[in-house]
Amino acid sequence: AANMTKYYSEDKFDTIVSTFTLCSFDDPVEVLKELQTVCKPDGKILLLEHGRSKSWDGLSNYLDKYAERHAQNWGCVWNRDLDDIIDKAGLEIEKISTWHFGTTYYLVCRPSIKVKKERKIIKEQQQDQQQEKKKDEVNSGTKKSEWKLLSILSWKKER
C-alpha cells in the first residue's frame, strides 16, 4: 500500500476504507500518507483499527508484554499507538470513537493538504531522478557506441 500511486492516480477516490490493516504494515505512517495521495482533497479516509489503550494501563501493559510473540505468530503489531501514527501521518480527524477498553478505534479523517503537497513534491523529485538516470544511461550507451566505432575504425586503419 505504500506505493498506491503506482496503481491509482492522485486524487482518485472519494472515500477510502481501511479496516484492521495498520497493525500489519512495516510503516503505517507511510501507508496513511500514500492513502492521502490517492484520496480526493475533499474525500474521506475511514479507519477501523486496533491499538494500545490510553485509558486502561493494565491492558496496554498486557499488550506490550506479548506484542512481539503475537507479531511473530500473526503478523499483527497489536500495541501500536494509533494516536501517534495518525498524528505523524498528518491526517485531519473529523470524528474519533473508541471501544473495547479503548483498543478499537473508528476514525473519520480527511487528507491533509500539506501532506498532499509534500507527496507531490516527492513524486516530482523521483520523476526528475528517473529522467536523469535515463539520460545518463543513454549518454553512457552513446559513449560506448562511439568508443566501439572508434575501435573498429582504428582496427581497420591498422590493417
What pLDDT digit, counting tens, does each position of 107-121 carry? 999 998 888 788 788
**Which of the four pLDDT bands, split at 50, 70 and 90, describes residue 10?**
confident
| Sequence-separated (6 or more) residues with CB below 8 Å from residue 14 | 39, 40, 43, 44
pTM: 0.72
pLDDT surpasses 90 at 22: yes
- The set of cell numbers assigned to 118 is 509534500
Spatial contact of 10 and 41, defined as CB atoms under 8 Å apart: no
Predicted confidence band at 142 (pLDDT cuts at 50, 70, 90)?
A: low
- Cα atoms found within 13 Å of the Cα of residue 57, Cβ hemisphere only: 0
158 membership: H or E segment, kind and range: helix 113-158
Q: What is the pLDDT of residues 71-101, one digit of tens each?
A: 999 999 999 999 999 999 999 999 999 999 9
In the sheet that holds 104-110, the strands lie side by side as 13-19, 39-50, 104-110, 92-99
Nearest by Cα to 16 from 93, 40, 97: 40
